[in-house]
Amino acid sequence: MFKAYRFIERGGKYLSPDSVETAEDVYQYVQAHKEHYPEVRITADHDNYITVQAFNGIITFPKKWALLEVKLKYINEPVSFNSDAFKQALEQSGFPAESNIDFYCSFCTALFNGVVSELYESIEGED
């Protein structure tokens, strides 16, 4: 159903594609390989449209997956909130952080849950 590519160099040489069957398999594949290759790209088997893409360990497409990853990594999992890491993750995922957002606050987890929710709603229907 999908072809999964692991690039040795971003946008250049890649290893032979692997076959991946389900959306869950795609997610697991990307998670398993995104930290080890400069680019991981999943395409639909029948038309080669990009389904999922990660650069340098960060999912950049689809945007919903990128936001989900930011939320899981920087809001749901950490014991303490790192506002600089959160801002950098948003920007690397293709979501420029607004300069008027206070990234240094004592109630950041709740605030940034709201930011992620707003971003998610703003891209609804884009994928």
Q: Summarize pLDDT for 24-53 with one digit per residue, the tens.
A: 999 999 999 999 999 999 998 777 788 899
Which residue type, as a one-letter code, is found at position 71? K
Average pLDDT, the chain: 79
Q: pLDDT at residue 6 above 90?
A: yes
Q: What is the pLDDT of residue 119?
A: 72
Q: What is the pLDDT of residue 90?
A: 76
47/10 Cα distance (integer angstroms): 21
Joined tokens for residue 92: 């690397």
Any idea where the domains of the chain sit in the sequence?
Answer: 2-61, 63-122
Q: Which residue has the higher pLDDT, 21 or 68?
A: 21
